[in-house]
Amino acid sequence: MKYLLKNVVITDPQSKWNGKKRDILIGSGRIEVISEQITPPKNCQVLEMKGSSISPGWVDIGCYGGEPGMEERESLQSLSMAALAGGYTRLACMPNTQPSVHSRSEVHFLISASQSLGIHLHPIGAVSKNNASLEMAEILQMHEAGAIAFSDGTAGVQKSGLLRRVLEYIQLIPGAILIQHSHDDDLSPKSQVHESKDTAALGLKADPSVAEFSAVQRDISILEYTGSSMLINKISAAESVSTIRKAKKNNPKLFCSVSIFHLAFKDQDLTTFDSSLKLIPPLRSHQDQKSLWQGLSDGTVDLVVSDHSPVNPELKDLEFQNAAFGAISLQTSYSLFNTLSPVGNPTSLWVDKVSVMPRKIFGLPVASVEEGQEAELTWFHESLQWHYTQHNNQSRSVNSPLIGKQLTGAVLGVFNKGRFFDNKSLIL
């Protein structure tokens, strides 16, 4: 079947059609024609909604799933459904599963299992065996099997010697990159919230910003010594933004990301002890949040990530101090960004941070809105309002601070792998 998108605004900085309103005819999984007006051919489904936009498919780096081993939280199928509902065509998943993705066999399993999914799944291999930061995992073998990067997830590499060896090893592998959670756990063991005047009355163990930005400084120093490649994942402190901004001037192999949660929420939002906002790193101050947005605008921050982290209800629906960390977000990340962005053109910034940059940094296939290109596209609407509920939530988990909320900005559908995934039943 052919599909005809009518009167969509094209948001793609790599396309000659960027910023223009056009009709787009898609057939056999490819963009056949882009023109001001196209007459629908036979056997063609017309897709039209006034004010809608189209962009290259979105990519999320570093989300968490559940399979293998924790399918009660999230199966690969439910992860794919949540991603498609949120506009994503590709996911790179962290290796923190049971067993950990720390050898060739786990990478092969994920790639094989993803063939039947609506998304492209890109494994991230563990840096250390069982993510224990003791012994280096089979990095070369995992790279050859298809892992696009390496990380120990939110554990990070704490030991400087191991970090040096990992970076030196990765440097020898073309295109390999370390995704590092920079945090000095010794400065805030078992912390729960950001250290600030707004959280002082909560009676919870606090995490000072220095635990993050001191680790950022260390990690950048070791990176520069080894000449390797690294993405510092989910920075949250203003000092981290400043440090990375300076370091990037002389280091083209240094990148960083920010979680959608830290762009949308801050430590003041924890006064109600909402355990769905118990996150790693913790939500920080309003000033930290402003610095993160500024870092996005000036190019210091390269990616916006969902930090999708499904958790079982029995581990999350507890008193704040006993609840597990993490929240789901694949389905709602765009809506949050679109609603809260203080910049003048949030759509173009969003597309740059979730489509263009992740493909460049991780060497993923380029997607573009051009004739003859494979149709890997996200169709969305900036001003459409919708309610996010347990009924239309596509994840197996429900640990979201947005359940029951009205959101602005919706994903209408996704073209991927030669198919069209229609989301309108979830939002209208």
Residues marked as catalytic: 307
- Beta-carbon contacts of 291 under 8 Å, excluding residues fewer than 6 positions away, are 237, 238, 241, 242
Q: Which two tokens stand for residue 379?
A: 């169709």
Comparing C-alpha atoms, which of 307, 344, 336 is closest to residue 409? 336
| Element spanning 179, H or E | strand 178-180
* Helices within 160-309 (DSSP H only): 160-171, 210-226, 238-248, 260-264, 286-298
| Element spanning 48, H or E | strand 44-48
249: left (phi over 0), alpha (psi -120 to 50) or beta: alpha
Residue 335 DSSP SS3: helix
Write down the residue that tokens 């030196």 correspond to.
168
Comparing C-alpha atoms, which of 248, 215, 245 is closest to residue 229? 248
Comparing C-alpha atoms, which of 112, 179, 398, 102 is closest to residue 276? 398
| Element spanning 206, H or E | strand 206-207
